[in-house]
Structure 1
Amino acid sequence: MGQDIQSNLLDLLSFLNEIVKNQNSKISYIYNENYGYPDLGSNIKDMNLSEELKNALINYGIIKLYKFQQEAMESILKNNDTVISAGTATGKTEAFLIPILNLLKNNSEERALFIYPTKSLERDQISRISSLSKELGVSFGIIDGDTPPKERTEIYKNTPQILISNPDMIHLGLSLSSEFRNALKNLKFVVIDEMHIYKGIFGSHMKWILYRLSKLSNEDVLFIGSGATIGNPEEMGESLFGRKVKVIYGPKRRKGTALHIFIDHGYMSRWTFSSYIISSLIKKGLKVLAFTDSQQMSELISKISRKNYNTNVLVHRAGLSAETRKKVENDIKEGLIKGVVSTSTLELGIDIGDLDAIVMTSLPKSYSSYLQRAGRAGRRGNPGLVITIMGDDPIESFYLNNPEKYFSQEPDPGYIEPRNKEVLKLHFISYLLQKGFIKKDDMPEEFLDVVDELLQKGFISISNNIYHPSWKEGRNFILNNSIRSTGPIVKIYYKNKNIGYREMPQALYELHPNAIYYHSGETYLSIKLDVNSYRAEVIKLNDVHFYTKPLYNIDVIEVIPKEKRLAGIIPITYGDLHIMIQVEGYVVKDEYSGSIISTSYYEKPIKWDYWTKGILTKYPELMFESGEKKISSYHALEHVLISASRPIIGASDTDLGGISYPSGHIVIYDSSIGGHGGSKLVFDRFEKVEGLALKIVSSCNCEDGCPRCVFSPYCGNNNQYLSRKGALSLLKYVFENKETKNEEGKPLGKPLA
């Protein structure tokens, strides 16, 4: 490590120690990361590339490729569907761009489609693509929702050899525009960059978009995936592409030096402490990007930073206008501001300039996400500071006690649910509009899951075993449904002006009557939520120092089993679940401490039901000392199983929901409508989930339940009726008994969520 870098990091560490001590908190763990350059491959002059491309690369400053780049190039040139798995900022773009340019240079009729998950990322990457392309005379262009009509017409007339777009544009273009379809007919390559993003619902949609794309062009189109931090690149590539793939592994980390620091926030609330750390770093002159997994927490941290610490920290998240997000990106890139708090929207490789520090306000939803976020600090040869605020959370508590286990783990697996019925409905209608008709024998068998419903609702028709679309109804269906989600969208209105949106069922928890809602730095109070018209109305509030949490219950109405097995002595079923949510009231909590100020209940609960996927388990009915101890034990077990599932499958806090019953039944379900694949991974890895759950409850020394073991910030009962000791007894019984004595039966009694 260079002396200057060492000196800078020691100075930063000394500063951090000082500001943390001022709040009676502490630095719990420090991990020094130092990675060199990846292994080098052959000299450019010796490679099987055109002379023009060799000269262009040398002029560009590339004398040798890294070994993994060369391996990727050779795989692509051999016509292999290829997945490139390498860390952030390691040179993945060059690994697929060079072989594609080599082939397009001498084949003017063939085309390549580069797909990026967002419009911002498209435009961010164009400079890297354009430099080499221009020198070789390979044409390129962007087509998306922001492309002016005149440019779009020119693209349709003279399609560039490299076309850059995003999944939303491709989905709509394939369905609704014959000109768009014609522009993509001669595709030779389809590149899916940032492939690790396509997990869950978004990945399920992407699978079917790629299927439709392959049917449009030809079966010979070559798929290339590129992504960082993928735990199962081969499985994920084959799930998305529907083909066997060759995986090329690059370095897991970027070159450079970074200091990873865990800080226990102590008695101060997480968001207040996060605001304090972010503001302190900014005042020291550092450029800071902070991450939170909650839209509302990002707004709250921005507010506290401004009001309590006189620091301007802007918000970047979904639900804000594209113009607002773009301005935030430009302002921090140009140095006009020094701090941004973001959800996962800035987790991708959008160029916002050099960053001195990354602050994660909690452990991210997955280790893959941690690596992706951490990779944004200290680029271009500068050391990076990566701070994670740790505290009262079962998983954070576990890793505070075992930090070396956190940094020694492998990236999490990606998962999708290709049979999500909401996804299938959208893409069957879209595929019919794209093709005009489909013979029954030529249809993917997955679409059979939704045929009857679509016929009944009049979106499609059938005659002589040929399916046809209902053009008007189909078009409206496509335009009113997003590939970024599966739930209905609740529009938020202030003085009859639409200021934002929230997807169901999350809107139930954030926009129920009297909920505090943060948006664009302003504080609002929800005064009405209509779950039939999907409309919320809000009014502005000034200078409040509290926030709200919903009180709710969830019940399973119906279970349609798909798979069953035994996990030790525990019967476990995976299938379709029909669940009912009831928001019954809310608690008001102090912004600084998180303590409860008041509790209120509605006269009439707000109800909403939907279908998803999930698992149903049945635990033994042990001899508990009371009925309350019994329900508290199952409720605590449900909480800790969900907490343990997070690192096992790479899920966020809100990806999975849970329900416990006095009968010993525990349900873990996908929070997305139709399911996203997470609960299927829990089903497959349930023994691992139970094992981690046992470690969590057995290593905590609290009396009988606390935030570090069985509490959940998303508990519908405000963490009432929880027993760590009861959950521990159940898990010990499961691991110590080998005989199967449990009958599954049906859930009985009042559920707790």
Structure 2
Amino acid sequence: MALRQGDVGEYVRALLASERLGAQVRHHRCLPVREAEYGRCRLPWPQAVEKALRARGLEGGSAALYRHQAEATDLIRSGRSIVVATPTASGKSLIYTLPVLAEFLRDPDARALYLFPLKALAQDQVGAFRALVEAWPEEARPSIALYDGDTSDYARRKIRLRPPAVLVSNPEMLHLGILPHHEQWAPFLAGLSHIVVDEAHVYRGVFGAHMAGVFRRLARLAARYGADPAFVFCTATVGNPGELAAALAGLPAPGTDEEGRRAPVVVDRSGAPRGARHYIFLDPPQSPASAAIDLLKAAVARGLRTIVYCRSRRMTELVSLWAGAVEGPLAGRISAYRAGFLPEERREIEARMASGELLAVISTSALELGIDIGGLDVCILVGYPGTVTATLQRGGRVGRALRESAVVLVAGDDALDQYFLRHPDDFFSRPPELAVVNPDNAAILARHLECAAAEQPLRRGEPWLEGNAAQEALRLLERNGDVLQSADGTQWLASRKRPQRLVDLRGAGRSLAIEDTDGTVIGSIDSFRAWRETHQGAVYLHRGRTYVIEELDVARGRVVARQARVSYFTRTRGSKSTEILEEKARRAVGRGAVCYGRLRITDRVTGYERRSTSGNRLLTIVPLEAPPHIFETEGLWYVFPDACRDRVEEQFLHFMGSIHAVEHAAIGLLPLEVMADRNDFGGISIPMHPQVGHACVFIYDALPGGAGLTREAFSRARDLLAITRDAVSSCPCEDGCPSCVHSPKCGSGNRPISKAGAIALLQDVLSDTDDAEGRLFADTLRISPAADVADDADRQDSVLPAEEKMFPMKHEATDAPAFPVKREADAGSAQQHCGNYVVFDVETRRSAAEVGGWQFAAKMGVSILVAYDSRTQDCISYTQDELPDFFDLLQVADVVVGFNSLRFDCAVLQPFAPYNLAKLRHVDLLRRIQDTLHYRVSLDNVARATLDAPKSADGLQALQWWKEGRLDKIEAYCRDDVLLTQRLYCFGLEHGFVLFRNKAGQRVRVPVNFSGEPSGRFF
């Protein structure tokens, strides 16, 4: 097949005239040419900047800037944080680079940080920056450096010692390479004037919640070194750019400036030109992949540079299978590109595309961002990308420099695809969706507070700690021992030195490597998706090759895949259940109600289906034993009155199938309201929920902790039901299909399902347009607490003696110590709290080495045992022969107290005891401290820090005294240890914590539970 040069207009005309494909076109619209609109900057630019603009090709200098560029640069130079939300190829890079250059000319110590979500974007920007200042004298040029995972150790040291004017990096390097080592970056952070965040619309969901924490950590460290940088966010056109930027940066929402903190300014009126762009909606009767291949063939035959976007890795690989079989002049000129490829594979493809060697690339969303891959002519979307924003962003990759271009949407069976085929005007008139980020995601916020505490102690009164979510996260961190209070209670310090290494910014879990049977790494997957996509027996596609998964080893972080040719694909099956932990809001919807709140989801993978690749025929179902995935999240739930159910069943319609169909259809259409993919949501249909007492349809954020998506959707809950009713009713299918009520990810195989029942239920619920009946129903609705919520509260009370002891942020800050450190322990209060107690310590006759190891403690013998009896408030000494009297004492004690007594002392004593020591109520102070810290500390450390009283000797010295016959020395030493333990026990009971010195030498609090049940028995 010889290549010939064609143009986009001819390609579109041929498509519309095609006997086969033309009949599949449901809508064609050509957006006209848009001329450029220029603006004039109010602030004059330095001559060096004007020179750089002219050298770039802008003969008019700053007068040739587009309107939005002029407006944005003026705002940045005035010190404001901004968010620029304009289409692809509208010149956003000049918006942040020109003010950075002007600031550098004014202050040579000024520094800027450019952050890009992909390495390729960063590499493009380094080249563009250098080209812009190339005309400046070499000695006057601001330096720029790329700091990413590929930067050599030598280059990294050089960058830290002499930081460039502009540091170009990515979120991971900021998180792992800069913030944890901020002392080495002090000159850079001290001069930081601008933080540029490109492609900010990708910072949502898991990634967005993580980045909100990273930006807050960066801002507080910059403040430590005296800097107050402005944020410059650049994003695709989204419905709420100001709210997105404010949530990410921790700034006030637009229109709500606070004292000392100003909201970001939104610049969203683009002045950039655009060539004529054709939009074609295609509804193929065959597979969308087959139609896409036909369109791609026609485009590349005309020499048109083409990008094909697929919604999934699987679809990308199916189209790539055809591309790999192409022969003739096109051989090797078409390639796949997606996440999961190795970095070197992706760099090679980007370079070949930019150079023109590749004529077409087949991608998932990985090439949605502004990577420089040269001018493109045709964009083929295999399936609606999920949002108007993503469609415009992907379509914006073609037709730059006023070239005519075409965007072809090949619709699939998905509900949104079919919705826009039937309502094309809605697509072009619909405003971009809202980009939602949840900076208060409990799980993610806690991780970044821990990281922040490791970088610089958190202080009472910090703005970041003011919200309820941060306070709750800090309480959780304290309870788990991840952060510890300073001795005076005014700071929180991380117990781990580098907790950043345990935080994956782009996933909810750890990453697993996918390996071929020869050990070659062919991809990666996060643990959150591993059981659904790479379970044993799953079919996995990579670069046109088919693999069957042989082993999933989560513990070792790897998946083993064997290359094989199979005629089937796999899909998991499972079950889910939900508990309502907290209801936060409620409103009427027609005759029913909708609630919003916090949920606990239990998701189980029970097996997988094998389905034929031809015809989608079910071949078999294979059971799987996978651990349940349990997480807390946010969600909304529709509640349907019994009367609605009765009316549906009176029509002989299947009610469970009805609500199941409503769930699927509503989730499929929810991305019309918020920027999300249907995979960002989960759903459960329950005909009688035990906590509610009525039928419920739950829709929840699939991200642990919640992403804020259903929170945003709650305000549009009635509109969602109305859209769902209309979409299901207008679908031409008879009994339900993927275009209306079937879900591709349904764990029960879309059974039972009732399209007619869904229509009847929605029409019945929404028939009362003024919601009067629903308001009465909502007012009388009662939701019972989750079965174990009360138990959780009881357990928390046992762990936290008093809220103010664990979290004194609620009190005014004071310079005075939060407790009298050297006060003598109150033995009476301890006895009142726990009844009679005995504190004891054992010294042995033989060492571990002499008996063959610590596991043989029973052979060590007893030289002296000293016990403190709270009834007499005095100590009693026992030799080995006198131990029966000690065991009698233990039997009348309510609590037995020791330090490392479970692991050591009781093991030494058990051979002499007439009963099982494990049955005693035992408080081992070391075990209780270790429960919080997750590592062991010495009695000497804790006693010095808490009581300012050191141990008088050690165990090795006591063994030497035994050999010398100095029982008096052993007794005195053992008595001192017992009294130290007794005082620590009383101190912990009274205050809810003890102190120790961490590895950095700081005195910190460790929360302890000396009064509750032990966390585990010994033996």
TM-score (norm 2): 0.68
- Corresponding letter in the other structure for 1:724: K
Alpha-carbon distance, 1:730 to partner: 1.8
Q: Indicate yes or no: 2:707 matched with 1:676.
A: yes
Percentage of pairs with the same residue: 29
What is aligned with 1:480?
A: 502
Q: 2:535 aligns with which of 486, 490, 512?
A: 512
Q: Gaps spanning 5+ residues in structure 2: where?
A: 1-5, 252-262, 689-694, 787-1019
User: Residues 53-99 of structure 1, C-alpha deviation per residue, up to 9 Å, x if partnerless?
Assistant: 22332333221221221111221222221122211111122222222
Alpha-carbon distance, 1:25 to partner: 6.0
Q: 1:297 aligns with which of 315, 332, 335?
A: 315
Contact kept? 2:382, 2:412, Cα under 8 Å:
no
What is aligned with 2:229?
A: 221
* Matching of residues 368-383 of structure 1 within 5 Å: 368-383=389-404
Contact kept? 2:368, 2:393, Cα under 8 Å:
yes
Q: Which moved more, 1:638-647 or 1:574-583?
A: 574-583
* Matching of residues 28-39 of structure 1 within 5 Å: 28-39=26-37
Q: Indicate yes or no: 2:202 matched with 1:171.
A: no
2: CA distance, partners of 1:174 / 1:84: 26
CA RMSD for the aligned pairs?
A: 2.6
1: CA distance, partners of 2:431 / 2:79: 29
What is aligned with 1:263?
A: 282
Q: Indicate yes or no: 2:442 matched with 1:441.
A: no
2: CA distance, partners of 1:560 / 1:387: 45
Q: 1:272 aligns with which of 282, 287, 290?
A: 290
What is aligned with 2:610?
A: 588
Q: 1:201 aligns with which of 190, 201, 206?
A: 206
2: CA distance, partners of 1:271 / 1:214: 46
Structure having greater relative contact order (Cα 8 Å, sep ≥ 6) = 1
What is aligned with 2:992?
A: none
Q: Which moved more, 1:532-541 or 1:99-108?
A: 532-541
1: CA distance, partners of 2:620 / 2:581: 33
2: CA distance, partners of 1:256 / 1:517: 40
2: CA distance, partners of 1:421 / 1:134: 47
Q: 1:698 to 1:514 in 2, by over 3 A?
A: same
What is aligned with 2:352?
A: 331
What is aligned with 2:829?
A: none
Contact kept? 1:460, 1:467, Cα under 8 Å:
no
Q: 1:377 to 1:454 in 2, by over 3 A?
A: same
- Corresponding letter in the other structure for 2:746: C
2: CA distance, partners of 1:699 / 1:16: 28
What is aligned with 1:12?
A: 11
Q: 1:430 to 1:35 in 2, by over 3 A?
A: farther
Alpha-carbon distance, 1:417 to partner: 0.9
Alpha-carbon distance, 1:453 to partner: 3.2
| Matched residue SS, 1:256 | coil
| Matched residue SS, 1:125 | helix
What is aligned with 2:677?
A: 652
2: CA distance, partners of 1:293 / 1:701: 24
* Matching of residues 316-715 of structure 1 within 5 Å: 316-435=337-456, 437-442=457-462, 444-445=465-466, 446-463=469-486, 464-470=488-494, 473-475=496-498, 477-495=499-517, 496-530=519-553, 535-542=558-565, 544-593=566-615, 595-602=616-623, 604=625, 607-621=628-642, 622-623=645-646, 624-625=648-649, 629-663=654-688, 664-715=695-746
Contact kept? 2:8, 2:304, Cα under 8 Å:
no
What is aligned with 2:122?
A: 122
1: CA distance, partners of 2:399 / 2:454: 47
What is aligned with 1:191?
A: 196
2: CA distance, partners of 1:619 / 1:343: 39
Q: 1:249 aligns with which of 236, 257, 268?
A: 268
What is aligned with 2:65?
A: 65
| Matched residue SS, 1:68 | helix
Computing the radius of gyration over CA atoms, which structure comes out larger, 1 or 2? 2
Alpha-carbon distance, 1:451 to partner: 2.5
Contact kept? 1:356, 1:384, Cα under 8 Å:
yes
Contact kept? 2:43, 2:74, Cα under 8 Å:
no
Q: Gaps spanning 5+ residues in structure 1: where?
A: 1-6, 749-753
Q: 1:175 to 1:47 in 2, by over 3 A?
A: closer
Alpha-carbon distance, 1:516 to partner: 0.8
2: CA distance, partners of 1:586 / 1:113: 47
User: Residues 576-634 of structure 1, C-alpha deviation per residue, up to 9 Å, x if partnerless?
Assistant: 322122222222333344x2141313164653222222222212332233897010000
- Corresponding letter in the other structure for 1:489: S
User: Residues 254-301 of structure 1, C-alpha deviation per residue, up to 9 Å, x if partnerless?
Assistant: 5112111111121x2223333343244323432221112222322222
What is aligned with 1:106?
A: 106
- Corresponding letter in the other structure for 2:678: D
Contact kept? 1:368, 1:412, Cα under 8 Å:
yes
1: CA distance, partners of 2:630 / 2:559: 18
Alpha-carbon distance, 1:341 to partner: 1.4
1: CA distance, partners of 2:767 / 2:710: 25
What is aligned with 2:923?
A: none
1: CA distance, partners of 2:512 / 2:587: 38
User: Residues 118-168 of structure 1, C-alpha deviation per residue, up to 9 Å, x if partnerless?
Assistant: 111011122222233344522222212222222222221221112211111
Contact kept? 1:279, 1:305, Cα under 8 Å:
no
- Corresponding letter in the other structure for 1:333: A
What is aligned with 1:3?
A: none
TM-score (norm 1): 0.92
Q: 2:748 aligns with which of 717, 734, 746?
A: 717
Q: 1:490 to 1:670 in 2, by over 3 A?
A: farther
| Matched residue SS, 1:465 | coil
What number of residue pairs does the alignment pair up? 734
2: CA distance, partners of 1:503 / 1:94: 36
| Matched residue SS, 1:526 | strand
- Corresponding letter in the other structure for 1:235: E
Contact kept? 1:655, 1:671, Cα under 8 Å:
yes
What is aligned with 1:237?
A: 245
Q: Which moved more, 1:485-494 or 1:409-418?
A: 485-494
Q: Which moved more, 1:348-357 or 1:566-575?
A: 566-575
Alpha-carbon distance, 1:642 to partner: 0.6
2: CA distance, partners of 1:337 / 1:93: 26
Q: 1:693 to 1:253 in 2, by over 3 A?
A: farther
Contact kept? 1:139, 1:160, Cα under 8 Å:
yes
Q: Which moved more, 1:379-388 or 1:637-646?
A: 379-388
Contact kept? 1:395, 1:643, Cα under 8 Å:
yes
Alpha-carbon distance, 1:406 to partner: 0.7
Q: 1:606 to 1:265 in 2, by over 3 A?
A: farther
Q: 1:346 to 1:417 in 2, by over 3 A?
A: same
- Corresponding letter in the other structure for 2:760: S
What is aligned with 2:959?
A: none
| Matched residue SS, 1:697 | helix
1: CA distance, partners of 2:300 / 2:785: 52
Contact kept? 1:439, 1:465, Cα under 8 Å:
no
Q: 1:252 to 1:449 in 2, by over 3 A?
A: farther
What is aligned with 1:281?
A: 299
Q: 1:18 to 1:302 in 2, by over 3 A?
A: farther
Q: 1:228 to 1:531 in 2, by over 3 A?
A: same
Contact kept? 2:323, 2:335, Cα under 8 Å:
no
